[in-house]
Chains A and B, each alone.
Chain A
Amino acid sequence: EDQVTQSPEALRLQEGESSSLNCSYTVSGLRGLFWYRQDPGKGPEFLFTLYSAGEEKEKERLKATLTKKESFLHITAPKPEDSATYLCAVQAGGGSNYKLTFGKGTLLTVNP
């Protein structure tokens, strides 16, 4: 069974204080690893897809990296508007390759 574990559950940063969120996974044949951002009262919003170990993607203050066992979402010099819940999900290969298995998320709060 595919599993995704995110840590920490919650993270509080000061504006400008860089940090990383972790997503550990077990999956039978990784097809893709996804990062989403979710604001209160809204649906998840797509950030990145990573497909193979060693791959990195960046968007503004966010950078996602992938190894064979985990992914990191690095946040550089965060701003209060980066406050949100960050969700990680994996998509396995095989017959049910359309399904995403999600972690419980990391609630990030950035204080001004």
Chain B
Amino acid sequence: GAGVSQSPSNKVTEKGKDVELRCDPISGHTALYWYRQSLGQGLEFLIYFQGNSAPDKSGLPSDRFSAERTGGSVSTLTIQRTQQEDSAVYLCASSLPANVLTFGAGSRLTVL
């Protein structure tokens, strides 16, 4: 596609439920990033995928968070047993190696 596509754009869930957020990167972009943007905070790095290399998961805040990237393209970020502090905008970005990141519009998650 022409840009990075994320879905859903908005998700409201109850505390304790699991959620999945999806990212479709720009075709041909081998690098994919997930960032979290909380109110009043800067973008927080979560995870990085590059080709077939092992992902850098160092930014995932707890073991309730996981992500996968299938076929080197689409990525899913899963949050299990959601907590209120997980409420944020989750941004996906893709790039060519060593190139500028292009961001999607984000998925806004609200945990009640």
By a beta-carbon cutoff of 8 Å, the part of chain A in contact with chain B is 4, 34, 36, 41-46, 49, 87, 89, 96-105
Which residues of B sit under 8 angstroms from A87, Cβ to Cβ?
Answer: 42-43
From 49 to 86 in chain B, residues with beta carbon under 8 angstroms from any chain A beta carbon are 50, 56, 58
A25 shortest CB reach to chain B, Å? 12
Pairs across A and B, CB under 8 Å, 22 listed = A4-B42, A34-B100, A41-B105, A43-B4, A43-B91, A43-B93, A43-B104, A44-B43, A44-B91, A45-B103, A46-B101, A49-B100, A87-B43, A97-B98, A98-B31, A98-B50, A99-B45, A100-B101, A101-B45, A102-B42, A104-B40, A104-B42
A12 to chain B, nearest CB (A): 18
Closest to B104 in A: A43
CB of A43 within 8 A of CB of B42, answer: no
Residues of B contacting A98 in the complex (Cβ-Cβ under 8 angstroms):
31, 33, 48, 50, 56, 98
**Complex Cα–Cα for A37 and B110 (A):** 24
Contact check, B48 vs A102: say whether CB atoms are below 8 A apart.
Answer: no
- Indicate the size class of the contact surface on chain B: 20 to 34
**Contact partners of A100 in chain B: CB under 8 A:** 43, 45, 101
**Distance of A103 from chain B, by nearest CB (Å):** 5
A105-B42 CB under 8 A given contacts A43-B93, A96-B56? yes
How far in angstroms is the closest Cβ of chain A from B36?
Answer: 11
Given contacts A43-B4, A43-B93, A43-B106, contact A102 B43 (CB under 8 A): yes
Residue-wise, chain B 28-49 has the 8 Å CB interface mask toward A (1 for contact) of 0001010100001111010010
State A43–B106 Cα separation when bound (angstroms): 6
> Considering the chains assembled together, what is the distance between the CA atoms of A49 and B50 in angstroms?
21
